[in-house]
């Protein structure tokens, strides 16, 4: 303080990081910034710590992706479509795209492509994804920004609920997001897209039919040149047709493999495709039939003018191996009266009743609608026999005794046909996290090995493809545990835990709340005396 009530301020500047004097580096040593792996050497970390670091990089990538999406939208908002030529004016765009529909200039992707040094197509896809996440899927963007959902899964949801679903009202899109997002982090990208498509179809079937009809008009066969003299032959066509073609080619390839052909299965598929195209008249090939699985609830097959029926049992499983929540049992015993009502509904679907197709099969799956858990599977003949026989304890009365349930355990290694049908219907594919090999080519594996006391019971059996069956049996420090509801928990040697649920098994509300609520911090205890 100075006389006259004045103040003086002194500022001292100290150089905290003095410049490093020029030092001649040894020959062969280049000066460069320190890299992240050099700041935290991997050699000093355990397997579990390395796994956590890899998971953190995925979370950081998600946060950065959310930040980039938001920055893209901020710049896009400054490029309004009002600056473009309007429709009908000379030089206007010939057709409308999603960016124009939300008021963004048609030339914004060109600017974004220059900023990112990428193609205009890639910039357009990013702009479309950003628009979808921030305008139609805000909860998905929030999960991405928090690192709870990775970029590939957020991008998959945006692809299913963005431009492709542009005609779907926003409340329906929000309902689909609320239904799918809680379990999105536990699904593969492919399964997540299928779940979003299924929820959207359930809520907006007419719009889905219009999109399918528009897509079918784009069917084509194209070539995409690849390296080393190879080319990819791509067929864009309706899924049932593509599945039948692939199944037929695969069946012929496996027949050739069984006959002793030493080539890889992929090479055999290519050869069989060429043979079928170039020599369609060749009668030396054995006839094969493609196996297609059609899954449909009775509510989808029933005539919309027909009554709903008196029973709560309202569904069927058509095909083999893919159950849906198609029969309401509400946790109660599956009684003979309920099966009679179900049989009446099945018979009312078409003249003569619903029957398996030629060389096909018809299985009926009974599923608890609250959890999606598979309760029982039955063939058409078994359904008729059980409905006719009734309860063996009360043959002359309507009772609540269960006449159908999961196949019982057996005291032997090989599963029974009923167990195989139930497990393949429940699992549909290999149950290892991320694997999509279908159950028809999978092994029925004892989760707890039979030699170690594991029972031959549906609660201890799951579908594993041959590779993951070998991994479970011979991989060191891998752990597989399955609950009675079919939820499989897999732990890697580095301690990462992944769970897979049977398709159709819903994520319970309690589980959703546990995932949504942040973990409570552990209480901090006072230091013991002396403090």
Residue 463 above 90 pLDDT? Answer: yes
Residue 102 above 70 pLDDT? Answer: no
Give the residue extent of every domain in the chain. 48-215, 220-278, 298-389, 417-511
Q: Would strands 461-464 and 488-491 be described as parallel, antiparallel, or unpaired?
A: unpaired
Q: Which residues contact 186 (CB under 8 A, 6 or more apart)?
A: 498, 499, 500, 501, 507
Residue 314 above 80 pLDDT? Answer: no
More confident residue, 294 or 402: 402
User: Distance (Å, rounded) from C-alpha 478 to C-alpha 490?
Assistant: 7
Helix-strand-coil percent breakdown of the chain, rounded to 5? 45, 10, 45
Model confidence band, residue 305 (pLDDT cutoffs 50, 70, 90): very low
pLDDT winner (highest mean) among 12-26, 168-182, 337-351: 168-182
> What is the pLDDT at residue 183?
87
Average pLDDT over residues 307-334: 41
User: Distance (Å, rounded) from C-alpha 390 to C-alpha 343?
Assistant: 13
Residue 528 above 50 pLDDT? Answer: no
User: Distance (Å, rounded) from C-alpha 362 to C-alpha 478?
Assistant: 37
pLDDT cut 90: percent of the chain above it: 24
Model confidence band, residue 449 (pLDDT cutoffs 50, 70, 90): very high
pLDDT winner (highest mean) among 14-18, 361-365, 417-421: 417-421
Residue 436 above 90 pLDDT? Answer: no
> What is the pLDDT at residue 514?
41
User: Distance (Å, rounded) from C-alpha 56 to C-alpha 208?
Assistant: 38
Cβ atoms of 374 and 458 closer than 8 Å: no
Handedness of CA 93, 98, 102, 104 (dihedral sign): negative
Element (H, E) at 426: helix 417-427
Residue 321 above 60 pLDDT? Answer: no
List, in sequence order, every beta strand (DSSP E) within 200-281. 220-225, 231-236
Model confidence band, residue 80 (pLDDT cutoffs 50, 70, 90): confident
Model confidence band, residue 403 (pLDDT cutoffs 50, 70, 90): confident
More confident residue, 396 or 491: 491
Rounded to the nearest integer, the mean pLDDT of the chain is 78
Model confidence band, residue 412 (pLDDT cutoffs 50, 70, 90): very high
More confident residue, 368 or 492: 492
Cβ-in-10-Å burial (0-12, 13-18, 19+) of 163 comes to middle
Q: Which residues contact 1 (CB under 8 A, 6 or more apart)?
A: 7, 8
Residue 174 above 80 pLDDT? Answer: yes
Q: What is the DSSP string of 310-341?
A: SSS------SSS---S----TTS-B-HHHHHH
Nearest C-alpha neighbor of 464 from the set 493, 500, 496, 413: 500
User: Tokens 């008021």 belong to which residue?
Assistant: 103
Give the chain's radius of gyration (CA, Å): 30
Cβ-in-10-Å burial (0-12, 13-18, 19+) of 472 comes to buried
Residue 48 above 80 pLDDT? Answer: yes
Residue 415 above 60 pLDDT? Answer: yes
User: Distance (Å, rounded) from C-alpha 343 to C-alpha 329?
Assistant: 15
Average pLDDT over residues 93-104: 61
Cβ atoms of 207 and 168 closer than 8 Å: yes
Model confidence band, residue 511 (pLDDT cutoffs 50, 70, 90): very low
Average pLDDT over residues 4-13: 65
More confident residue, 296 or 66: 66
Q: Which residues contact 529 (CB under 8 A, 6 or more apart)?
A: none
Nearest C-alpha neighbor of 294 from the set 326, 325, 327, 323: 323
Average pLDDT over residues 101-118: 83
pLDDT cut 70: percent of the chain above it: 75
Residue 210 above 80 pLDDT? Answer: no
Q: Which residues contact 489 (CB under 8 A, 6 or more apart)?
A: 479, 480, 481, 482, 483, 497, 498, 499
119-123, 127-131, 440-444, range with the lowest pLDDT: 440-444
Q: Which residues contact 348 (CB under 8 A, 6 or more apart)?
A: 302, 306, 309
């Amino acid at each position: 303080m100075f006389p006259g009530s004045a103040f003086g301020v002194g500022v001292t500047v100290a150089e905290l990081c003095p410049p490093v004097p020029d030092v001649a580096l040894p020959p062969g040593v280049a000066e460069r910034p320190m890299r992240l792996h050099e700041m935290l050497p991997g050699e000093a970390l355990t397997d579990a710590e390395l796994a956590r670091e890899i998971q953190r990089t995925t979370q950081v990538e998600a946060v950065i992706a959310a930040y980039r999406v938001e920055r893209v939208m901020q710049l896009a908002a400054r490029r309004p479509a009002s600056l473009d030529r309007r429709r009908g004016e000379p030089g206007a765009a010939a057709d409308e795209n999603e960016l124009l529909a939300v008021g963004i200039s048609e030339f914004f992707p060109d600017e974004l492509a220059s900023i990112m040094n990428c193609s205009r197509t890639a910039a357009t896809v990013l702009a479309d994804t950003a628009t979808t996440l921030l305008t139609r899927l805000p909860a998905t963007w929030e999960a991405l920004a928090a690192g709870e959902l990775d970029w590939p899964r957020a991008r998959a949801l945006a692809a299913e609920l963005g431009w492709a679903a542009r005609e779907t009202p926003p409340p329906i899109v929000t309902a689909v997001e609320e239904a799918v997002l809680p379990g999105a982090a536990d699904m593969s990208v492919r399964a997540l897209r299928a779940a979003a498509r299924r929820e959207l179809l359930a809520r907006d079937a007419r719009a889905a039919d219009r999109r399918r009809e528009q897509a079918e008009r784009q069917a084509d066969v194209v070539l995409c040149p690849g390296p080393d003299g190879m080319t990819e032959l791509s067929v864009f066509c309706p899924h049932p047709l593509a599945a039948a073609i692939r199944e037929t080619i695969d069946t012929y390839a496996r027949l050739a493999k069984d006959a002793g052909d030493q080539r890889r299965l992929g090479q055999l598929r290519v050869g069989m495709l060429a043979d079928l195209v170039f020599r369609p008249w060749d009668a030396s090939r054995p006839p094969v039939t493609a196996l297609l699985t059609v899954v449909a609830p009775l509510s989808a097959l029933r005539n919309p003018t027909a009554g709903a029926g008196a029973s709560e049992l309202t569904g069927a499983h058509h095909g083999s191996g893919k159950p849906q929540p198609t029969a309401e049992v509400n946790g109660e015993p599956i009684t003979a009266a309920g099966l009679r009502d179900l049989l009446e509904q099945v018979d009312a679907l078409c003249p003569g009743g619903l029957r398996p197709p030629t060389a096909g099969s018809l299985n009926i799956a009974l599923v608890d609608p609250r959890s999606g858990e598979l309760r029982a599977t039955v063939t058409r003949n078994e359904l008729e026999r059980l409905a006719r026989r009734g309860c063996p304890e009360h043959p002359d009365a309507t009772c609540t005794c269960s006449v159908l349930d999961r196949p019982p355990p057996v005291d032997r290694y090989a599963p029974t046909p009923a167990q195989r049908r139930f497990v393949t219907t429940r699992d549909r594919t290999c149950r290892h996290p991320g694997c999509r090999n279908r159950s028809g080519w999978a092994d029925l594996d004892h989760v707890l090995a039979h030699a170690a006391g594991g029972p031959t019971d549906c609660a201890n059996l799951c579908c594993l493809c041959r590779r993951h069956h070998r991994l479970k049996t011979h991989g060191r420090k891998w752990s597989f545990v399955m609950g009675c509801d079919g939820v499989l928990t897999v732990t890697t040697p580095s301690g990462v835990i992944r769970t897979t649920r049977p398709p159709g098994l819903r994520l319970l509300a309690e589980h959703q709340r546990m995932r949504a609520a942040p973990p409570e911090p552990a209480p901090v205890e006072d230091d013991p005396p002396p403090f």
